[in-house]
Structure 1
Amino acid sequence: MTIRVLIADDEALLRMAFSMLLDAQPDLTPVGEASDGAEALALAAELRPDVVLMDVRMPGTDGIEATREIVRTCPQTRVLILTTFDLDEYAFAGLKAGASGFLLKNTRPEELLTAIRTVADGNAVVSPRITHRLLEKFRPHIPDRAAAARDERLGRLSAREREVLVQVGSGLSNAEIAATLHLAEATVKSHLGRILHKLELRDRIQAVIFAYESRLIHPH
């Protein structure tokens, strides 16, 4: 099955390079190019790509707002944020907006291709530890939730699921969570799937953010 990719970047040479790279893969195909966020929104609505490679710094509608709207209006489309620095505010904002991960613009071609395939398969491409570092850096900017709202969402989880969510929010991998909680790794994966379903979250990254926003992970 071919993965259809929309490329959004205000640099024509980068768009061309990404397009050529994708075109050379038997399972990936570029379906369109956008030079700004507004164009990305219009093309995403028209083409319904599987994945959008989204630059954050573009004229007019930036990549963050475009990501937020694409996630809202095209729920089957996944977004990969392209950023210059791995711990800048744009990367964090992109994850908050619903992106399935972020990549450095100077990432190696094989890593980019793997990331696209991973995201198209419904997974996130930012490791738990990197997500944890992002949230630690930008924790002061994470808004508090009303106590009632926190309780309502957390109330959907079983005690064990809440335990697993705490570990996910702490940056542990499934294997590490399994060792910590004395569970099989497959059991941890099943718990995580139920957590995402109950909390209506897209992926692991969103689960980590929820753990911070709901104060399951306390400042230290």
Structure 2
Amino acid sequence: MIRVMVVDDNAIVRMGLCEALALKPDLEAAGTAASSAEAIEVFRTERPDVVTMDYQLPDGNGIDCSRQILEEFPDARILILSAFSAEEDIWNAVQAGAKGYLTKAAGEVEEIVDAIHEVASGGNFFPAEIMLKLERRKNQRELTPREMEALRLLVRGKTNKEIAHELGISIDSVKQHITNLRVKLDAADRTQAAVEAIRRGIIQF
């Protein structure tokens, strides 16, 4: 019997997944949680075989929650079920230690069940479209912390002068950060860099 803990802030989603699990002879619900803090407490009590983890939670996100669970329980097997499918979201999930990633829009019940079985057996479950995004992300250059700060302000529509003031750096330094961002994001100008950052999920609103 595979014991599955369901983490989602939507009560209907939690109920629906638990009902789907009940229809499978080798699966059973092992607790539910609606927040990150609750998920950690329920995991400690139930010690499930697999966790289906929502990406967005009211007190944080499923990636940080997964990381906290895995720090305490390195053998935990976590499957992300998310409404988000940007490259950065998927990459962050894998970096945190998730064994699978499904989007809620594409994830049919049977696919979720297949993913649970695969993750429970020690494997990974990443559909083809998710793997494609992971491969693209692997080939991208990492942004430095300072570049990320400049990018957040750029996306908010700040000018070079305003970015320089907020970061406490010179305008020449800001211009260099913007140039680096354009190169790393393969963008023709600052506007396209902002658009690309949002599309990839590097910056979220």
- Partners of 2:125 and 2:139 lie apart in 1 by 21
Alignment match, 1:19? 18
- Partners of 1:45 and 1:77 lie apart in 2 by 11
Task: Tell me the secondary structure at the aligned position of residue 125 of structure 1.
Answer: coil
Q: Post-superposition shift, 1:129? A: 7.2
Q: TM-score, normalised by structure 2?
A: 0.64
Q: Deviations over 1:129-174 (max 9, x none)?
A: 7435324236446479xxxxxxxxxxxxxxxxxxxxxxxxxxxxxx
Task: Tell me the secondary structure at the aligned position of residue 102 of structure 2.
Answer: strand
Alignment match, 1:95? 94
Task: Tell me the secondary structure at the aligned position of residue 57 of structure 2.
Answer: coil
Aligned length: 143
The letter for the 2-side match of 1:7 is: V
1:110 corresponds to 2:110 = yes
Q: Deviations over 1:1-40 (max 9, x none)?
A: x000000000000000000000111100001110011111
The letter for the 2-side match of 1:112 is: I
Q: Post-superposition shift, 1:120? A: 0.2
Contact 1:48/1:74 (<8 A) preserved: no
| Larger deviation, residues 101-110 vs 127-136 | 127-136
Q: Post-superposition shift, 1:91? A: 2.1
| Larger deviation, residues 49-58 vs 87-96 | 87-96
Task: Tell me the secondary structure at the aligned position of residue 32 of structure 2.
Answer: strand
Alignment match, 1:63? 62
Task: Tell me the secondary structure at the aligned position of residue 137 of structure 2.
Answer: helix
Task: Tell me the secondary structure at the aligned position of residue 74 of structure 2.
Answer: coil
The letter for the 2-side match of 1:124 is: N
Aligned ranges for residues 2-41 of structure 1 at < 5 Å? 2-41=1-40
Identity of aligned residues (%): 36
Q: Post-superposition shift, 1:67? A: 0.5
- Partners of 2:47 and 2:139 lie apart in 1 by 34
- Partners of 1:90 and 1:130 lie apart in 2 by 11
- Partners of 1:95 and 1:10 lie apart in 2 by 21
Residues 129, 38 of structure 1: alpha-carbon distance in 2 compared, 3 angstrom cutoff: same
Alignment match, 2:137? 137
Which protein shows a greater Rg?
A: 2
The letter for the 1-side match of 2:23 is: A
- Partners of 2:128 and 2:13 lie apart in 1 by 28
The letter for the 2-side match of 1:134 is: L
Alignment match, 2:43? 44
Residues 129, 30 of structure 1: alpha-carbon distance in 2 compared, 3 angstrom cutoff: same
Contact 1:6/1:31 (<8 A) preserved: yes
Contact 1:50/1:120 (<8 A) preserved: yes
Q: TM-score, normalised by structure 1?
A: 0.60
Q: Deviations over 1:33-80 (max 9, x none)?
A: 100111111111111100000001111132111100112212232000
Aligned ranges for residues 154-169 of structure 1 at < 5 Å? none
Q: Which runs of 5+ in 1 are unaligned?
A: 145-220
The letter for the 2-side match of 1:120 is: A
1:121 corresponds to 2:121 = yes
The letter for the 1-side match of 2:57 is: M
- Partners of 1:143 and 1:131 lie apart in 2 by 22
Q: Post-superposition shift, 1:127? A: 4.8
Residues 28, 40 of structure 1: alpha-carbon distance in 2 compared, 3 angstrom cutoff: same
